[in-house]
């Protein structure tokens, strides 16, 4: 589905990603863990196409196509979805209006007809119940005045409506209480299928109790320094990141 090779990225002249290699196949869930400032959000944003980031080296193939050459919107239309760590508030634009435009842009790109109002509403209703989101939020401006938890739920709700091929969830679990976490995880698990892939950025193990990953990667200082299965997450929880860093340093010097 997505193949990232030797990705190096500068942010404001400073190298933040220092050669990332990561392949996600259909049906797989990859968790990316790592300390604050290690570059997790940078990676997520680069995949979504954020333009301020400077690609120094490397390639990204998405479904065989060169992702780095695509505009932000075309990536979305091809099926890449980013759930933001800090969802943006957009005063004056209602959630429904955003979804209508999003669904139709994606449909148009695929040569499909615009969704009619009744079908859109039905789709919205179905997906809202999935994340137990309050119907009132629909007519409100995007994320404006939403609580932290509501914002995160709204991201998952949008994902559910847009049905991407690859969902990148950037710390969707942070700031959620245990009930909200369960709801969000449930939404993600319902979305999970053999047809799509998920990159789950988090620095807590607790989300992974609800969404069981196939692979766990440790990102540190712009590099993936260790990969493993779900047991790696538990190990990290127990021992912290330092032992992985030490191990990596030893290997590097060997």
Partner 1 sequence: MSKITELKNWYLDKFKDFENSLNGESKLPFHQTRIDAIQKFSDLNFPTIKDEEWKFTNISSLLNHNFKPASENVLEFDHSIIEKYLFDEKEYITIVFVNGVFSQKHSNIHSLGEGIVISNLKNAMVEHPEVIEKYLGKFAGYEKNIFTALSTAFAKEGTFIFVKENKIVEKPIQVLFVTSSNEEVFSSPRNLFVFGINSQAKIIESYVGVSDKTSFTNAVTEVILEMGAVVEHVKVQDESERAYHIARTEIDQERSSNYSSYNVNFGGTIVRNDLTTTFNDEYGFCKLNGLYLGKGNQLIDNHTLMNHAMPHCESHEMYKGILTDKSRGVFNGKIFVKRDAQKTNAYQQNKTLLLSEDATINTKPQLEIFADDVKCSHGATVGQLDKNALFYLRTRGLSDQQAKTILIYAFASDVVHSISMRQVRDHLEKLLSEKLLTADLKD
Interior angle at CA 95, CA 157 and CA 87, nearest 5: 65
Strand 80-83 to strand 54-62: parallel, antiparallel, or no bridges (unpaired)? unpaired
Q: What Å distances lie between residue 130 and 52, 54, 97, 182, CA to CA?
A: 34, 37, 20, 12
Q: Answer yes or no whether residue 41 interacts with Mg ion by CB under 5 A.
A: yes
Question: Whose Cβ is closer to partner 1: residue 170's or residue 173's?
Answer: 170
Q: Answer yes or no whether residue 36 interacts with ligand ADP by CB under 6 A.
A: yes
Q: Distance between CA atoms of 42 and 170, rounded to whole angstroms? A: 10
145 binds, among ligand ADP, Mg ion, partner 1, none (CB under 5 to 8 A by kind): none
Q: What Å distances lie between residue 254 and 18, 215, 220, 225, 250, CA to CA?
A: 20, 26, 19, 15, 6
- Segment near partner 1 (CB under 8 A), from 33-41, 98-106, 112-120, 222-230? 98-106
Which one of residues 7, 22, 33, 42 is an interface residue with ligand ADP (CB under 6 A)? 42
Q: How many residues does the chain have?
A: 254
Which one of residues 6, 25, 66, 101 is an interface residue with partner 1 (CB under 8 A)? 101
Which one of residues 6, 25, 72, 195 is an interface residue with partner 1 (CB under 8 A)? 72
Which one of residues 102, 121, 123, 212 is an interface residue with partner 1 (CB under 8 A)? 102
Q: Answer yes or no whether residue 139 interacts with partner 1 by CB under 8 A.
A: no
**Backbone dihedral angles phi then psi of residue 16, each to the nearest 5 degrees:** -105, -45
Q: Answer yes or no whether residue 59 interacts with partner 1 by CB under 8 A.
A: no
Q: Answer yes or no whether residue 117 interacts with partner 1 by CB under 8 A.
A: no
Asked whether the beta carbons of 187 and 131 are under 8 A apart, the reply is yes
Q: Answer yes or no whether residue 233 interacts with partner 1 by CB under 8 A.
A: no
Which residues form the interface with ligand ADP (CB under 6 A)?
A: 11-12, 16, 34, 36-42
């Amino acid at each position: 589905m997505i193949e990232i090779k030797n990705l190096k990225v500068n942010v404001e002249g400073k190298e933040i990603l220092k050669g990332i290699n990561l392949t996600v196949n259909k049906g797989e869930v990859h968790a990316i863990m790592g300390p604050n400032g290690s570059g997790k959000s940078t990676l997520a944003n680069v995949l979504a196409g954020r333009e301020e980031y400077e690609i120094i080296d490397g390639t990204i193939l998405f479904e065989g196509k060169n992702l780095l050459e695509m505009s932000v919107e075309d990536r979305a239309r091809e099926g890449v979805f980013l759930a933001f760590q800090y969802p943006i508030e957009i005063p004056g634009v209602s959630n429904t209006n955003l979804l209508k435009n999003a669904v139709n842009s994606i449909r148009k790109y695929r040569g499909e007809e615009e969704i009619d109002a009744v079908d859109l509403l039905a789709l919205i209703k179905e997906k809202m119940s999935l994340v137990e989101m309050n119907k009132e939020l629909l007519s409100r401006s995007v994320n404006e005045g939403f609580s932290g938890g509501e914002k995160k739920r709204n991201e998952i709700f949008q994902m559910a409506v847009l049905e991407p091929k690859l969902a990148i969830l950037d710390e969707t679990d942070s700031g959620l209480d245990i009930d909200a976490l369960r709801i969000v995880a449930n939404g993600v698990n319902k979305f999970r299928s053999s047809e799509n892939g998920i990159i789950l950025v988090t620095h807590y193990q607790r989300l992974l109790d609800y969404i069981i990953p196939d692979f766990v990667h440790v990102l540190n200082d712009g590099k993936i320094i260790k990969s493993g299965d779900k047991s790696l997450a538990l190990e990290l929880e127990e021992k912290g990141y330092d032992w992985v860093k030490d191990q990596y340093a030893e290997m590097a010097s060997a």
